Amino acid sequence: MNPRGSRLHRLGLLLALVGFLPGCATKGPDPLERWNRSIFSFNEGLDKHLLEPIATGWDWLLPEVVQTGIRNFYDNTTMPVTLANDILQLKLGAAGQDLGRIVVNTTAGIGGLIDVASMIEMPANKEDFGQTLGRYGVPPGPYLMVPLLGPSTARDVWGYPVDGAARPLNYFVPIWASLTLRVVENFNIRAYYLEELREARESAFDYYVFVRNAYLQIREHRVHDRAGQPPELQDDLYEMEGEDAAGQPPESQDDLYEFEDD
């Protein structure tokens, strides 16, 4: 599965905060912009001074085939999350496809290191509990920028503990091994997006707005099962508060800061 389409889970820290958010009076998607921008600045500082240097070394040290194997393994461990949400959304056809991917990649793909399912053109889906809530009419609520983990919404942040519980690997390895795997996953993802993030930061008129708009548009697109890239990303995403910003957005902006708490 393409890791740019995968979707990476957030801190429990904001769960207490989310309790009052749906009751806030909102005139737009970002009523907590002052709070969100401060968290965004913190995340950006951490990324620039710690994660990006490590990811640069990671990208230099590990051959592409090793990085691809890590991405494939990670995607395979998260496929049960998609499968569970396929079932919750009554998408039985998609559930059959995703179960097939899990079986094929876990067996023929040597535990998921090789994406054999994509080689034989088996369809790949991406679902999470935030999308499931949206499918049943739960509105996204206010936009949230989560410490360390990046963009979310009041609806999506409630989904992460549920998705974490649906990830079988967490039940079969010790906590220290699970944490180590998550660190490896996220350094590998960060290394994969090195150039995209650099270009987006340099090109966007307001990078905070860029990230927010990309996340909200992509999440809306996924909830309603629209194929391909949201048309807004082609036409409007770079119009940052009346200014045009060139550059190419990461396809999965919601994955870039995910240090999954599952």
Separation between Cα atoms, residue 162 and residue 87, nearest integer Å = 14
Within a domain: 35: yes
Q: What is the pTM of this model?
A: 0.74
Instruction: Assign 77 a pLDDT band (cuts: 50, 70, 90).
Output: very high
Q: Does 7 fall in a domain? A: no
Q: What is the pLDDT of residue 28?
A: 65
71 domain residue, yes or no: yes
Residue 230: pLDDT band with limits 50, 70, 90: low
Kindly state whether residue 140 falls inside one of the protein's structural domains: yes
Task: Indicate whether 11 belongs to any domain.
Answer: no
- Pick 13 or 152 by higher pLDDT: 152
In a domain, residue 143? The reply is yes
Q: Quote the domain boundaries for residue 192.
A: 28-255
* pLDDT top residue among 81 and 15: 81
- Tell me the pLDDT tens digit for each residue of 238-251: 443 333 333 334 44
Flag whether pLDDT at 4 surpasses 70: no
- Count of domains observed in the chain: 1
